[in-house]
Amino acid sequence: MMVVSTLWWISLLLSGCASPVAMHRAVLEYDWTVNRIETELLLLNIARTRYHEPIHFTAVSNIAATFDFRVNTGLMGLLAGAPGADSLSLTLGSSAAENPTVTIIPIQGKEFTTRLLTPLTEETIFFLAQQGIDPAILFRLVSQRINLESGILANEPRRKEEYRKFRKRVMHLSWLQAERRLFIGPLEFTDGDQRKTGRIVMTNYDPNTLPNDERLALQRQAERFPRHHLLVDIRQGHPGGDFPLFGAIRLRSFKAILEFIGRGITEEPEFHVDPDPRTGPMTVNPAKTLTIRESRTQPEEAIISVQKRGLSYYIDQESAEGEAFDRWNHEAFDLLYQLYHLTVTDVSQIPSLPIAISK
């Protein structure tokens, strides 16, 4: 009787140990798998834009897993003729099985298309800037151009002179950020008897130190542009003001960002640009905003890779350019991943036919 009781307690112990371990491992594996799917889809869509193909995303909207935990116990006896020769053997066993059902949704429809094609807004840039993202990475990725009173500085390598000037301006903003001399945030001002929060601006001074009439004037300048523009005012008389800039950065849509990276692989590659002499030292200044490798051979070590038209497209884990370059490249792809999630929020609201896949 004591043996049976002990066996029962051991079986309970086995059951209690097996179930949390299996569930813990499964949750982590599902999380890793969903993350890998999303990152590979991003890279695949960049490869599609390299060939001017339509982009398409599929999201994992739900994972339902049923866990089956089983414990097997038993006693086997052997009776011998001689006294004291009786023996018992104990058998114990446990097993855990999972039966997941994954629901995926092809992301399509008017709402997603609108989000995909609509330019980012100044509020998104403000949110990302608060995360400490380097302005050089941020604005090289999301900017279409800088509108100046004297003309346009396009973030397009095929317009070489404009592109050079654009890059120099962005590097100057990055240097100001490194020196903690770059301010970005909404204007606070009084209009009549009301205190208001206005448009977001980027400056090399604290706008709150300006008289109210100057802040109101900045607000009116910003209101000349739609919200997919960010007003920039780098003034003389303040840090970095010997390279002044007054204009508006026009932002890209998420689709345009992917196309910019895809074209940059071979068709319209970015090139090296030196900083302006009035800009302080730069720790890293890669030619490409995001370096996607293209190869006929499978990469041995890569953070992520996909296949397209018999070629491998991938991002290096470690490259010959060095640690600073790799850190930039990884941060640029991480920013792209964040932008994707800011574009596609609640997939359950997307009108589409879900596809359920059972293991």
Same domain membership, residue 228 and residue 135: yes
C-alpha–C-alpha distance, residues 326 and 331, integer Å: 8
Q: Could you report the per-residue pLDDT of 235-252, keeping only the tens digit for each?
A: 999 999 999 999 999 999
Same domain membership, residue 126 and residue 49: no
Same domain membership, residue 155 and residue 79: no
pLDDT of residue 353: 46
In a domain, 359, yes or no: no
Percent of the chain with pLDDT over 90: 61
Same domain membership, residue 120 and residue 102: no
Provide the residue range defining the domain that includes 87: 2-107
Q: Could you report the per-residue pLDDT of 47-101, keeping only the tens digit for each?
A: 999 999 998 877 665 555 555 555 555 545 554 445 555 555 555 555 555 666 6
Evaluate if residue 22 carries a pLDDT over 80. no
pLDDT of residue 65: 54
Radius of gyration of the chain (CA): 29
Same domain membership, residue 226 and residue 124: yes
Question: Taking phi first (over 0 means left), then psi (-120 to 50 degrees means alpha), and beta for anything else, what does residue 90 get?
Answer: beta
C-alpha–C-alpha distance, residues 247 and 170, integer Å: 13
In a domain, 117, yes or no: yes
C-alpha–C-alpha distance, residues 183 and 240, integer Å: 12
Q: Could you report the per-residue pLDDT of 310-331, keeping only the tens digit for each?
A: 999 999 999 889 999 999 999 9
Q: Could you report the per-residue pLDDT of 100-125, keeping only the tens digit for each?
A: 665 666 666 676 777 788 999 999 99
Same domain membership, residue 143 and residue 258: yes
In a domain, 316, yes or no: yes
C-alpha–C-alpha distance, residues 207 and 217, integer Å: 12
Same domain membership, residue 76 and residue 61: yes
Evaluate if residue 8 carries a pLDDT over 60. no
pLDDT of residue 342: 86
Q: Show which of 60, 80, 107 is a domain's final residue.
A: 107
Same domain membership, residue 118 and residue 16: no
Same domain membership, residue 306 and residue 264: yes
Q: Is the pTM of this model over 0.85?
A: no
Same domain membership, residue 145 and residue 87: no
Same domain membership, residue 160 and residue 237: yes
Helix (H) or strand (E) holding 144: strand 143-148
